[in-house]
Amino acid sequence: MFLRKPLLLTACLLALSAPAWAAPAHSFDFGQPAPAAKASRSVEVLMGDMSFDPKAIEIKAGETVRFVLVNKGQLLHEFNLGDAAMHARHQQEMLQMQQSGMLTPTGMKAMDHGAMGHAMKHDDPNSVLVEPGKTAELTWTFSKPTTLEFACNIPGHYQAGMVGKLTVDAP
């Protein structure tokens, strides 16, 4: 009998804390972020207003690539790796950021949404924002052959053609 209450209390505490430890981590079936030092090559991607150059990139499965992202445009842009469905979901998140005033045409504002019960952040490991005139990097190890897109998911940018094809071939 004396163990029943502590066990019940422990079970309740675990159940209440479950969302914290059961929250899905960022995982991607096409690979994972990597340190720049692990890159076997670098690919420079120029970001214009509503364009990427190059429009297509080929990678080998198992390869670690350092993307050097140069924003030559006048607007804030994003470089995001994923498939079309991932981009559609991320576009909705970016729209919410824009509607909240956090995302502006040329940058991100630091905002505390803790009082509203949620925190809005742009911290996905497969994505980076690049302000006008700035350069950023994203290094990624591609795990398997697949076809992906690299895209800017700032509202309207993908639809205006700011998307490219990323092909991961067998090694």
Q: Which of 9-13, 31-35, 83-87, 134-138 has the lowest mean pLDDT?
A: 9-13
Give the DSSP H/E element, type plus range, for residue 165.
strand 163-169
| pLDDT reported for residue 120 | 53
What fold characterizes domain 28-169? Immunoglobulin-like (2.60.40)
What confidence tens digit (pLDDT) does each residue in 104-132 have? 999 988 755 444 444 556 789 999 999 99
Residue 25 DSSP one-character state: P
Amino acid at 28: F
pLDDT band of 26, cuts 50, 70, 90: low
- What are the DSSP E strand ranges found in 2-156? 31-33, 41-48, 51-53, 56-60, 64-71, 77-82, 127-130, 135-142, 146-151
Task: Give the separation between CA 49 and CA 41, rounded to whole angstroms.
Answer: 26
Domain ranges of the chain: 28-169
Which DSSP string do the residues of 64-92 spell out, in sequence order? Answer: EEEEEEEE-SSS-EEEEEE-HHHHHHHHH
